[in-house]
Amino acid sequence: MYFYTYKITLLKGSKAGHYYYGQHRTENLDDKYSGSGRILTDYYKKYGKIDGVTYTKEIIELYDNVENLDKAEFELIGDKYKTDEFCLNLRSGGNKCGYSEKSHKKMSESHIGKDPWNKGTKGKQVHSEETRKKMSESHIGKVYSEESRKKMSESAKNRNNRNSLTKS
């Protein structure tokens, strides 16, 4: 296993010259890892992820264990994330939540076989019969303008087209 700190420097657009420090743990030093923070992923969506063209990656140093890796990242970033406008880091780095590698492993193993916290009905709201009746009655006798009727018609057509495409 390899443990290293790295620096990503962005080369395109308004973020040209901005940089990000990070750490990575991998079995393969040539795995093309280029950071995974929100700012970087948004940048890559816009400009692409092409080493040497849209960004450069520099491996700063290799470490022999996670503790040294965390300490080095923390020292590398320091307070740059607060004081340097070109620094894209959102926090000081290192072991972000304060748990040891052993604790992380125990917590991870304790969740094996359990449903994720966010599993369930996604976006579906179940209303009672009474509520559904009230919503239905609220539309009775409502008169829509010609423009509104056209918009609703187009929306319904698009909805039907999407449904027929996904069923086949």
pLDDT tops 50 at residue 26: yes
The boundaries of the domain holding residue 153 are: 139-167
- φ, ψ for residue 56, nearest 5 deg: -125, 150
pLDDT in tens, 96-147: 555 566 777 888 888 888 887 767 656 667 888 999 999 989 989 889 899 9
Closest by Cα among 94, 113, 86, 114 to 16: 86
Token pair belonging to 96:
């972000």
Identity of the residue numbered 22: G
Q: Please indicate, yes or no, whether the overall pTM of this predicted structure exceeds 0.75.
A: no
The mean pLDDT of 31-48, rounded to a whole number, is 89
- Same domain, residue pair 9 and 92: yes
| Final residue of a structural domain among 69, 96, 123 | 96
| Final residue of a structural domain among 67, 96, 125 | 96
pLDDT tops 50 at residue 166: no
Domain membership of residue 104 (yes or no) is no
Number of compact structural domains in the chain? 2
> How far is residue 22's CA from residue 36's CA, in Å, rounded to a whole number?
9
Domain membership of residue 129 (yes or no) is no
- Same domain, residue pair 91 and 149: no
Q: Collect all residues with Cβ–Cβ distance below 8 Å to 37 and sequence separation of at least 6.
A: 20, 22, 88, 89, 90
Domain membership of residue 56 (yes or no) is yes
- Same domain, residue pair 14 and 81: yes
**In Å, how far are 45, 69, 74, 110, 144 from 103, measured between CA atoms?**
34, 17, 20, 11, 60
